[in-house]
Amino acid sequence: MNVYAIKAIYLFEMARTWRTLMQSIASPVLSTSLYFIVFGAAIGSRMASIEGVSYGAFIVPGLIMLSILTESISNASFGIYMPKFTGTIYELLSAPISALETVIGYVGAAATKSIIIGTIILITARLFVDFSIEHPFWMITFLILTSITFSLFGFIIGIWADSFQKLQVVPLMIVTPLAFLGGSFYSISMLPPFWQKVALFNPVVYLVSGFRWSFYGVADVDVGVSLGMTFLFLLACLAGVWWIFRTGYRIKA
Partner 1 sequence: MKLLDSLETPRRSSASDPIISVSGLSKTYASGFQALGNVDLDIRRGEIFALLGPNGAGKTSLISIICGIVNPSTGRVLADGHDIVRDYRAARTIIGLVPQELTTDAFETVWATVNFSRGLFGKPRNPAYIEKILKDLSLWEKKDSKIMTLSGGMKRRVMIAKALSHEPKILFLDEPTAGVDVELRRDMWEMVRRLRESGVTIILTTHYIEEAEEMADRIGVISKGEIILVEDKDVLMQKLGKKQLTLHLQSPLRALPPDLRSDNLLLSEDGSELVYTFDTQSDETGIAGLLRALSKHGIDFKDLQTKESSLEEIFVSLVRGRP
Question: Using CB under 8 A as the criterion, which residues of the chain lie in contact with partner 1 when the complex forms?
Answer: 2, 4-5, 7-9, 11-12, 15-16, 19, 86-88, 90-97, 248, 252-253
What's the gap between Cα 109 and its chain centre? 13
Look at residue 53 and give its three-state secondary structure. strand
Q: What is residue 251's DSSP assignment?
A: T
CA nearest to 135, candidates 56, 210, 224, 220? 210
Q: What is residue 50's DSSP assignment?
A: B
Is the distance from CB of 10 to CB of 108 less than 8 angstroms? yes
List the beta bridge partners of residue 209: none
CB atoms within 10 A of CB 140: 15
Q: Could you give the CA distance from residue 19 to residue 39 in angstroms, rounded to a whole number?
A: 32
Q: Could you give the CA distance from residue 229 to residue 110 in angstroms, rounded to a whole number?
A: 21
- In DSSP notation, 133-180 reads -S-HHHHHHHHHHHHHHHHHHHHHHHHH--SHHHHHHHIIIIIHHHHH
Q: How far is CA 163 from CA 19, 84, 88, 90, 149, in A?
A: 24, 10, 16, 18, 23
Q: Could you give the CA distance from residue 85 to residue 80 in angstroms, rounded to a whole number?
A: 9
